[in-house]
Amino acid sequence: MSDLTVQPPFFRRPGTQLALRYLIAIVITLFFVFPVYWLFIISLKTPDEIFAFPPVWYPKSIQFANFGVLFKDGDAVTVWNSLVLAGVSTVIAMVLGTMCAYSLVRFKTGGENLAVWIISQRMMPPIAIVFPIFLLYVFFGWVDSYHGLIILYTAFSLPYVIWMMRGYIEDIPLELEESALVDGCTRWEVLWKVVFPMVRSGLFATAVFTFIFAWNDFLFSLVLTRTEVITYTVQVTHYFGGQSNFWAKIAAMSVLGTIPVFITVATLQRYLVRGISMGAVKG
Amino acid sequence: MSQSATSAMVDANGVPTPPNVALAGVPPDRFFKYWLIAPAILLLLLVGIFPLIYSLVVSFQQITMMEVDTSFAGLVNYAQLFKDKRLWEALLHTGIITVIALPLELVLGLLMAQLFLERMPGRQIFVSLLVLPTVISPIVAGATWRLMFDNRYGPINQIIGWFAGEPTTLLWTVSPNLVYPAIFICEVWQWTPFMFLILLAALSNVDKSLTEAAEIDGAGYWRTFFKIVLPAIWPVMAIAILIRGLDLVRIFDVIWALTSGGPGTKTETISIYTYVQGFQQFETSYTAAIAFLVIAILTVIVVWAIRRMGLAK
């Protein structure tokens, strides 16, 4: 019977539409993924393949010499610097930020004005902040030091942490905290023993994004480092220059700095949207 | 320092809190809520208030690379702001980039979200791949496209050459006519997925019964979209626009990696110009005046936008 019913026109059929959507989806995904592929593939190429004309679309053999050079020259230590700076500042920002968020949520400390002020700090232009900070750090002798950058990263991350944790803390039922108080906990104990465990997944998700923001930073470390605590982003730009671009090094260093981010994001798919939308979309 | 303050508070409050005290009511330990915010606020003052005050003070002096004159110089530096053609051009470049890239990212992100909204086996794989550009460091994104755009060894010209039927050697990051398209392509590549992810989540949360009811009532696709879908996703969309808009106004990394503001000063944004003045020309006082101007303008915009959107509630 179905053969006799009138079929919708070719382009209106569900099968055709789904096929079309797949086609468009694949083309779009190619556009967004290809540059990443290209970066990774350059890092695995030999110099001959990198500077081949026409370009070589895939390397004949995989070789890790470009990465070996970075480790031998000691340039790879910049990735370690990024790790220390982003890691330490994330931990501090999470603790201080969650405390602050808890106060804002439970006690309405400072009211709406304080909340607006805190989130508005997130929007400040880094260049306008870093210039006075640079002058201050010169005065203190903090330029090119771990603690100088850690303090700045922590301060710059705080609005985001406070903002995100506010959302997670609001979801905790008040009764839990009340019964803990009744059981004789002090308020600090309530915070450590009830609130922090309850927002564990929120803490985790927020920390990852805080870490990525610091990890990806360029401007602060460009201005406030010289030789000792250079981050991988600054190191990448050191390879730029005129006619003698060190393509292999640019690519290999970029890949070293990008792989950790990809791995963390891959394990965190379900927190991603809430994280990047600053909590606007609750996941 | 805050650590010792913390333990002191615990000792002082060693007495168990009396039962039946409402948590949100008047807390028995009055200063607890302030101890909680104190360390965070102190750090925020460092990036929030200190730069503002310090820029203001220094901007009234005349510190340059040559001399350190800290006597009160009045509004000399601010008067110079108005005469500085390069500053206004930098503001214009920043404006152009924001006004073009933001709608592009928004519309493309929305279209992509529509594409992936309906049921589609394997959708999660696409989404996972599409996310990659957004989480890469902007400096790496810029570096990647620098390699992509290379006139001889980059794949872009090669691909264009296939379509053109002859070898192409466009100087993407050097030619005045192509440098802005190059920046837009890089920007759109990195941040359209950001818009896409947020809008896809927002669209998925729209109540299906509302759109279906509208269709039964005879409303067309566009009418349904503008009357029902758009108002429903607007709160989320507004925040996405705010986040991206402010990122674009502050844009530095991508352009630094891609063109360094060149050719000449053709793509110099306000952030790059401020950097050049402060850290290459060492015009300390003048840079402070620029920084103060930028902070002041953005503070007004940001606080207005946040209140307007009811973000703080």
- Whether B275 contacts chain A with CB within 8 A: yes
B295 contacts A124? CB cut-off 8 A: yes
- Whether B171 contacts chain A with CB within 8 A: no
CA distance B226 to chain A (A): 20
A107 contacts B24? CB cut-off 8 A: yes
- Whether B277 contacts chain A with CB within 8 A: no
Using one digit for the tens of pLDDT, what is the confidence trace for B193-221? 999 999 999 999 888 888 888 888 888 88
CA distance B157 to chain A (A): 10
Q: How far is it, in rounded angstroms, from Cα A247 to Cα A38?
A: 12
Q: Which of B133-137, B188-192, B222-226 has the lowest mean pLDDT?
A: B222-226
The one-letter amino acid at B77: N
What percent of chain B is modeled with pLDDT above 90?
A: 41
ipTM value of the model? 0.89
pLDDT average, residue stretch A92-117: 90
Handedness of CA A247, A250, A253, A254 (dihedral sign): negative
CA distance B141 to chain A (A): 9
DSSP string, chain A: -TTTSPPPPGGGSHHHHHHHHHHHHHHHHHHHHHHHHHHHHHHHS-HHHHT-SSPPSS-SS---HHHHHHHHHTTTHHHHHHHHHHHHHHHHHHHHHHHHHHHHHHH-TTHHHHHHHHHHHHTS-HHHHHHHHHHHHHHHT-TT-HHHHHHHHHHHHHHHHHHHHHHHHHTS-HHHHHHHHHTT--HHHHIIIIIHHHTHHHHHHHHHHHHHHHHH--HHHHHH-SSSS--HHHHHHHT--TT---HHHHHHHHHHHHHHHHHHHHTTGGGHHHHHTTTSS--
The residue behind tokens 């920390």 is A207
A187 contacts B17? CB cut-off 8 A: yes
**How many cross-chain Cβ pairs, A to B, lie less than 8 Å apart?**
313
pLDDT, position B96:
95
- Whether B145 contacts chain A with CB within 8 A: yes
Which residue of chain A has the CA closest to B167? Answer: A54
CA distance B17 to chain A (A): 6
Q: Is the pLDDT of residue B25 over 70?
A: no
Give the residue from A187, A198, A213 with the most B CB atoms within 10 Å of its CB, the best one to mutate: A187
Which whole-number Å values give the CA distances from A223 to A76, A174, A227, B204, B250, in the listed order? 20, 45, 11, 42, 16
pLDDT average, residue stretch B290-296: 86
A127 contacts B271? CB cut-off 8 A: yes
A-facing residues of B in 62-101 (CB < 8 A) are none
Q: Which of A126, A216, A278 is facing B243, going by the closest CB pair? A: A278
Which has the closest alpha carbon to B40: A216, A117, A64, A20? A117
Handedness of CA A220, A222, A226, A230 (dihedral sign): positive
Q: Is the pLDDT of residue B27 over 60?
A: no
A-chain CB neighbours of B291 within 8 Å are 127-128, 131-132
Q: How far is it, in rounded angstroms, from Cα B91 to Cα B59?
A: 19
Per-residue pLDDT band at B11 (split at 50, 70, 90): very low
CA distance B3 to chain A (A): 11
Q: Is the pLDDT of residue B222 over 90?
A: no
CA distance B211 to chain A (A): 20
What percent of chain B is modeled with pLDDT above 70?
A: 89
pLDDT, position A214:
94
- Whether B309 contacts chain A with CB within 8 A: no
B37 contacts A104? CB cut-off 8 A: yes
Q: Which of B155, B235, B298 is facing A125, going by the closest CB pair? A: B298
Selected residue with higher pLDDT from A62 and B268? B268
Using one digit for the tens of pLDDT, what is the confidence trace for B38-58? 999 999 998 878 888 888 888
Q: Is the pLDDT of residue A218 over 80?
A: yes
Here the tokens at position A35 are 């540059």
Mean pLDDT taken over chain B: 84
B274 contacts A127? CB cut-off 8 A: yes
pLDDT, position A31:
95
Here the tokens at position A10 are 């070719």
Using one digit for the tens of pLDDT, what is the confidence trace for A236-275? 999 887 555 688 899 999 999 999 999 888 888 788 888 8
- Whether B19 contacts chain A with CB within 8 A: yes
CB of B13 closer than 8 Å to CB of A187 = yes
Which residue of chain A has the CA closest to B205? Answer: A281
Using one digit for the tens of pLDDT, what is the confidence trace for A155-187? 999 999 999 999 899 888 888 888 888 888 888
pLDDT, position B4:
37
pLDDT, position B294:
86
Which has the closest alpha carbon to A166: A193, A203, A194, A192? A203
SS3 state of residue B74? coil
Here the tokens at position A39 are 């970066």
CB of B172 closer than 8 Å to CB of B182 = yes
pLDDT, position B20:
39
Mean pLDDT taken over chain A: 88
pLDDT average, residue stretch A232-236: 94
pLDDT, position A24:
94
Q: Which of B134, B135, B252 is facing A127, going by the closest CB pair? A: B252
